Chain A
């Protein structure tokens, strides 16, 4: 834990644009949360609830269910803050991984229970929604730009999987391409995205 740094864990820079810069501060906050500091958790909530809700809504769609899942995720962050290890990844990645995973679990368990047929969602629609939603800030703009730097198949595979919550097998089915191809496109697409975004 980044202990002993001269920062007040409760007084953070605000705003999603400072994503990279604020992550160490978030990590420090999580260390306080791990010790049961409710004020620190409040700060974590303020900084991440919108992000958690955003990705959950993207996957789950239903607003009421999304709010439930968002709360579950935040409570999970509270409960498991001691398990966050900054050596292993950024605080944001940790929390977004939790959020996305839980959103995906929710839609898949619903699918199983209702034995719903796969909705055939056009990849183009999924992408348009992304493009529309990411225009708000520089950060979003950058993500959008990086998404457009992918090949069409990479982009469709990534957005259907991540925002759509589909498994790679489902994506292969949706796009009508071989499973092996989808796996490769997803990996190549994410690698390109990672490099474009300049994340480590």
Chain B
């Protein structure tokens, strides 16, 4: 933050207009975190760009209104950020932005509804909402760097497996491996901090459960999936490594399937260097298995592609 400061600061205009690539954005937000004057400048510039936006207003088709309102009713809202310290200031400045970063797997890089006629069924948003509602705990903020460090702990024990999972670790071992990962998450970029905290809490609840177990299994198209779970918490943490990168418009989708039926358990975040996760899945029911598919489009309530992973989760 010394020599590059002036140069970095000229990025304020581009940043306020989202005219920056991810790397530049990350660099600038780091800069912002330690520069009150810059935050103030961005605030003012964003008021100006907002006027550029409102000047472009058009009249939406009336039917969009009902669709959107119905969809909203099915979406669980985020709680307020409860923090009072300076640390979060950068985050507050860009309030809302945090949700738009790559760390939000729901709406990340993959274009939604690809190949689906938008107006055909009318309520793609509603279906998206349903998916969202089905996801009890949202996956958290994530960086590739953090992931690599977290992986190290697990990798020492990770193993082979066919489609059948293998009971791998003691509760203590799991905790040791993933505590590192939690710590790293907490030190992620500031705009991710809050989300990380919530996700971390959810993960901690699983890891600290008395009945925590860890399973690994091979993904048939390549890669290894790891599940840390607690039947008592009715929740699991899913991560994977070595996954094949997918073409645009396709994504990895998790499912829970068992006597309680087959339910979507969330779209995996974008694959970074072959790795994804951790993703917290709640609402486990007895006899559930975890499945993974490559889905061609968003919004399916049932898997429309073959399972490339199906893990038994053992008995309660």
Contacts and interface: CB of A to CB of B under 8 A. Distances in A.
A25 interface: no
Name the prevailing secondary structure of the A interface residues. Answer: helix
Given A75-B71, A200-B47, 7 more contacts: A64-B117, A76-B96, A96-B46, A96-B54, A97-B96, A190-B49, A194-B47
Nearest to B250: A113
7 contacts: A34-B80, A41-B72, A42-B69, A50-B58, A102-B100, A167-B20, A194-B47
A75 to B, nearest CB: 6
B184 interface: no
A139 B16 contact: no
A180 B51 contact: no
Interface residues of B, number: 74
Interface of A: 16, 19, 34, 36, 38, 41-42, 45-46, 49-51, 53-55, 57-58, 64-65, 67-68, 70-72, 74-76, 78-85, 87-90, 92-102, 104-106, 109-110, 112-114, 130, 133-134, 139-140, 143-144, 158, 161-163, 165-169, 171, 180, 182-191, 193-194, 197, 199-200
A188 B80 CA distance: 35
A79 B72 CA distance: 8
B205 interface: no
A37 to B, nearest CB: 10
A162 to B, nearest CB: 5
Contacts, number: 266
Given A97-B96, A112-B248, A89 B43 contact: yes
Contact of B64 (A67, A167, A185, A200): A67
B95 A189 contact: no
Contacts of B77: 34, 36, 78-82
Given A68-B124, A75-B68, A80-B78, A92 B58 contact: no
Contacts of A80: 77-78, 96, 99
Given A36-B77, A89-B47, A183-B11, A104 B95 contact: no
Contacts of A158: 13, 17, 52
B71 A76 contact: no
Nearest to A89: B43
B14 A168 contact: yes
